[in-house]
Structure 1
Amino acid sequence: MTRPKALISGASVAGPVLAYFLQHNGYDVTVVERAAAVRDSGYAVDFRGAAFDVLREMKLFDQVSEHNTRMRGTTLVDGSGAEIGQLPASAFAGELEVPKRELTRILHQATAGDVDYVFGDSITALSQHESGVAVEFEHRAAGEFDLLFGADGVYSNVRRLGFGPDDEVLRHLGMSGAAFSTPNYLGLDHRGLLRPGPDTAAYLFSCGDPDRLTVSLSFATASPELDRRGRTEQERAVRAAFAGQNWELPRLLDTMTGADDFSFGSSCQVQLSQWSRGRVALVGDAGYCAAPTSGMGTSQALIGARALAHHLATTGGDHKTAFPAYETQLRPYVADNQAKGRQAAMTLGGAA
């Protein structure tokens, strides 16, 4: 009997997890990823609640736990650097926190032997018909698949091609920010420093590598437009937002220019009336991003991917039944996480 063919766009977290379960359920799985190799970027991701059940089912809990950052909490400081409060480790690190690069590496290793990974390529067009999905790629030859899944993040290529423009589904939470690392000149040891303000927030922490300090500089924005700009414009916006501020900010702004791991992003939520159309379904941030401020992105990715694969398995691969069941199961969970994301953004100076 011919095994059904599934194509997944995105090899970060949701994609490999979905690939794992689909492959175990009898699918031939291909994962296409725009990056040239497994991504070695990102800082720390955390796990909460039922996400641990997914890791255990994949037999990866112990391996992932070995990379626990063991953060010990965060000190709140005012504009002069004076301590004004303390936050527990769970405020940012959840119940378990690991470096993003370690998680993506582990997930890839757990699936690479059974899943066909295609790096350095992306989907350029898709069209559905009664028995499958025709997909065109930037580099490789076009192909036919029984099912297509978008697990490619908040600016999902699959969502844009199959559901509509980003602007129709993204809800900006009023915050954008830059992240980079620098030598740990403050000597932070598995701890963070947070300097909140009415329109800006600076968060510094060190974990994993004691010689490195990770910096996040967030500020109020009216839209996520800066995400589409180049680094020069993004840096200029960060400098303008933090201009005239004291404490460590002048030094951090100088360091930002030379950082080789600079990244920029906005706090956005993805709000769709449907997470599937025909034979195409979305999972993780591509379908229902709750924003980084929620602290639930990784957990949603794991739980959503397993739920999607589970409903396909229990319905014998009937996507017309499985996809709505997946959405019905997950909607309340996602709605709660998105509410948390909006509330946290407001606390840090964003908008509801």
Structure 2
Amino acid sequence: MRILVSGAGVAGPVLAYWLTRYGFCVTVVECAPALRRAGGHAVDLFRPAMDISERMGVLPRIEEQATGTARMTLCREGSDRPVRVDLSRIFGAASGRHTEIMRDDLSEIYYGATADDVEYVFGDSIRAISPDGAVRFDNSRPRHFDLVVGADGLHSNVRRLVFGDESLFSAPTGVHLAVLTLPDVEGLDRELLMHVGVGRTAGMYSARHLAGARALFLFRGEHGHGCHHRDVPRQKELLRAAFAGMHCDVDRWLEGLDSTPGFYFDSISQLHMDTWSAGRVTLVGDAGYSPGPAVGGGSTTLAVVGAYVLAGELARADGDHDRAFPAYERAMAGHVTGSRTAALSAAKTLVPASRLGVHGLAQGARLIAALPPGPARTLLRRTTRSARLYDSMTVDDYAAPQPPVRAGGIGAADDPAAGIDSG
């Protein structure tokens, strides 16, 4: 049974790993010419994603590549009294198993676990999908697949082709995110430096193995919603306007806007769909149920869990998508609903909409830093809703996987169009 997966980020390779272990033949198509290795931004893996990664045999590499960020210095706009917090206390109280890793590093690790067993096609994209499984590509000849899975992120091409325009399902949170790759001008050592004001939060952090640093910007404003996610000049204009005059540190970070080798900007949106499946096609991760990347802290965990569950349900149903897809949606429904709620709550906390909210965030951090370990843990367990949500997710223990089917055995002998070639 041949399955086409669109997207080689996080959900795509995890899904491909488990599908091959269950005996399916998998092709992954990715529009980028190669894996992105600029580092990306930091993402969180909570207990269920750590457990799944351990079953995949890649947890040691993930732990080796962890950012190592251990401290936070929080500066309230207009105040000269910074608050310093031990981040290990926060995550230790909220999650029994957690790590932070750069997204591109995580993607590369998952890709490495599948590269020998999965056919990867870079620099191409799906142009059309027929109800019978016939697929046309931008650069390759047509092929037939039994199933197609969109694992291609918030702006999913597969979702657009099968379900309609993104605007039909997108629910903007009113918060926008930007990430810059910059030199480590602050000389950070396992530290996150944050500046928080009304409607805007800026920070800089580094990682143990990064030569530079990442500057992170979150801000409120409906005026950014109409900006296309590929209109980089307009994005930089909005970013400068949103953070003008916040602090000399932030001004210095923004000076690197025109020379940064890595820039990401997007409106943080949730997706609300009645179903993630139509015929032979389904969606996984942010393509189907984005809770709001970056804000909830668990979009990546949700993607890993979703990929694992989808593969497991397909194996349990012997590839019958009429049974597997509804079972997959039922298994993930509660996780997705909870993630949306947690993400909106986190957005209110991380990007305060009032002076009272800014003061509350700073005072909360100060209290956590001052309390003895026991009371601090009690307080954190009551306030870190999103971390506890992802940490407590449970999934079925699916049937024991089979040895993988090698990528070279995808069936060229019985399918004259089996090999994708460029051109």
TM-score normalised per structure 2: 0.78
Native 8 Å contact 1:192 1:206 kept in 2:
yes
Does 1:289 find its partner at 2:286? no
**Offset from partner CA, 1:93-122 (integer Å, 9 cap, x none):** 971012222211111111111111000000
After TM superposition, the structure 1 stretch with the greater mean CA deviation from structure 2, 262-271 or 225-234, is: 225-234
Q: Which residue of 1 aligns with 2:19?
A: 22
Q: Which residue of 1 aligns with 2:369?
A: none
Superposition deviation, residue 230 in structure 1:
2.0
Partner SS, residue 105 of structure 1: helix
Superposition deviation, residue 229 in structure 1:
4.5
Q: Which residue of 1 aligns with 2:403?
A: none
**Offset from partner CA, 1:99-146 (integer Å, 9 cap, x none):** 2222111111111111110000001111113xxx11111000111100
Native 8 Å contact 1:178 1:263 kept in 2:
yes
Cα separation, 1, equivalents of 2:129 and 2:210: 46
Superposition deviation, residue 170 in structure 1:
0.9
Does 1:237 find its partner at 2:238? yes
Cα separation, 2, equivalents of 1:161 and 1:88: 46
Native 8 Å contact 1:81 1:247 kept in 2:
no
Q: Which residue of 2 aligns with 1:204?
A: 204
Q: Structure 1 residues 75, 350: CA separation in 2 closer, same or farther (over 3 Å shift)?
A: closer
**Offset from partner CA, 1:184-205 (integer Å, 9 cap, x none):** 2212111101111112110111
Q: Which residue of 1 aligns with 2:408?
A: none
Superposition deviation, residue 224 in structure 1:
3.2
Cα separation, 2, equivalents of 1:81 and 1:98: 31
Native 8 Å contact 1:189 1:210 kept in 2:
no
Q: Which residue of 1 aligns with 2:116?
A: 113
Q: Which runs of 5+ in 1 are unaligned?
A: none
Cα separation, 2, equivalents of 1:189 and 1:30: 41
Q: Structure 1 residues 87, 167: CA separation in 2 closer, same or farther (over 3 Å shift)?
A: farther
The match for 2:304 among 295, 299, 302 is 302
Q: Which residue of 2 aligns with 1:140?
A: 140
**Offset from partner CA, 1:147-193 (integer Å, 9 cap, x none):** 00000000000001111110011111111132112222212111101
Does 1:318 find its partner at 2:320? yes
Q: Which residue of 1 aligns with 2:252?
A: 251
Q: Structure 1 residues 269, 26: CA separation in 2 closer, same or farther (over 3 Å shift)?
A: same
Superposition deviation, residue 247 in structure 1:
3.1
Q: Structure 1 residues 198, 230: CA separation in 2 closer, same or farther (over 3 Å shift)?
A: same
Native 8 Å contact 2:273 2:289 kept in 1:
yes
Q: Which residue of 2 aligns with 1:68?
A: 66
Does 1:160 find its partner at 2:163? no
Listed as ranges, the matches of 1:95-110 within 5 Å are: 95-110=98-113
Native 8 Å contact 2:67 2:209 kept in 1:
no
More strand by share: 1
Partner amino acid for 2:52? Answer: V
Q: Which residue of 1 aligns with 2:45?
A: 47
Cα separation, 2, equivalents of 1:269 and 1:251: 32
After TM superposition, the structure 1 stretch with the greater mean CA deviation from structure 2, 310-319 or 258-267, is: 258-267
Q: Structure 1 residues 165, 74: CA separation in 2 closer, same or farther (over 3 Å shift)?
A: same
Native 8 Å contact 2:67 2:206 kept in 1:
no
Percent of pairs with identical residues: 38
- The RMSD of aligned alpha carbons is 1.9
Q: Which residue of 1 aligns with 2:413?
A: none
Q: Which has the higher contact order (CA 8 A, sep 6+)?
A: 2
Does 1:36 find its partner at 2:27? no
Partner SS, residue 256 of structure 2: helix
Partner amino acid for 2:201? Answer: A
After TM superposition, the structure 1 stretch with the greater mean CA deviation from structure 2, 83-92 or 333-342, is: 83-92
Partner SS, residue 274 of structure 1: coil
Q: Which runs of 5+ in 2 are unaligned?
A: 354-423
Partner SS, residue 255 of structure 1: coil
**Structure having the higher Rg:** 2
Native 8 Å contact 1:176 1:264 kept in 2:
yes
Q: Structure 1 residues 160, 325: CA separation in 2 closer, same or farther (over 3 Å shift)?
A: same
Q: Which residue of 2 aligns with 1:195?
A: 195
Native 8 Å contact 2:65 2:209 kept in 1:
no
Cα separation, 2, equivalents of 1:210 and 1:98: 11
Cα separation, 2, equivalents of 1:150 and 1:272: 14
Q: Which residue of 2 aligns with 1:331?
A: 333
Cα separation, 1, equivalents of 2:350 and 2:112: 37
